[in-house]
Amino acid sequence: MSVRLTPYLVLPGTAGEAIAFYEKALDAQVLFKQTFGEMPASPDYPLADEQKGLIAHAMLQVGESQLMFSDSDSGKPVQQGDHVTICITTKDASKSKQFFEALKEGGTVIMDLHEAFFSPAYGQVKDKFGVTFHLFTEGAAMN
């Protein structure tokens, strides 16, 4: 049996912007995207006009993995940061570097991409949306 873990990011009205950013930064493809306004109307949950353009559910394909997104519709603040972290694993150090450089744009480097005993290229970055990524390249480091 195969099990895949898919991180789900709930953002405070910035999911559409995040989706566009990750499409570029991670070479991602949108598999599905639906706004609250595109969902069937429910008299139990009427939407304000400003909510209709928010993302109700989206899924991106990133290599062999997937990311899910939505905007918060509850009006409550969304805790950003380390409540969701994502490890991006590649076998190509140049691809890890490409992802790292793209994700740090507007973000904060936690640990520079470097050779470590467990990886030829490993680093950590918090992107401009407050999401922490670990970039991990498979393989033994050169000593």
What pLDDT was estimated at residue 76? 59
Residue count (the chain) = 143
Over residues 72-94, the pLDDT tens digits come to 865 556 666 555 778 899 999 99
Q: Identify the residue whose tokens are 């393989």.
A: 139
Q: 């904060």: which residue's tokens?
A: 108
| Partners of residue 68 on adjacent β-strands | 8, 59
Q: Which amino acid is at 15?
A: A
**13: helix, coil or strand?**
coil
Q: Quick check: 63 and 1 in contact, CB under 8 A?
A: no
**Tens digit of each residue's pLDDT (9 = 90 or more) over 47-56:** 888 889 999 9
Q: Are 110 and 125 in contact (CB under 8 A)?
A: yes
H/E stretch holding 26 reads: none
**Tens digits of residue pLDDT in 2-58:** 456 689 888 888 899 999 999 999 999 999 999 999 988 888 888 888 889 999 999
Residues whose CB is less than 8 angstroms from the CB of residue 7 and which lie 6 or more positions away in sequence, other chains included: 67, 68, 84, 86
- For the chain, list the domains and their CATH numbers: 1-76 (3.30.720.100), 79-143 (3.30.720.110)
Element (H, E) at 130: none
Contacts with 32 (C-beta within 8 Å, 6 or more apart), sequence order: 57, 58, 59
Q: What is the pTM for the complete model shown?
A: 0.73
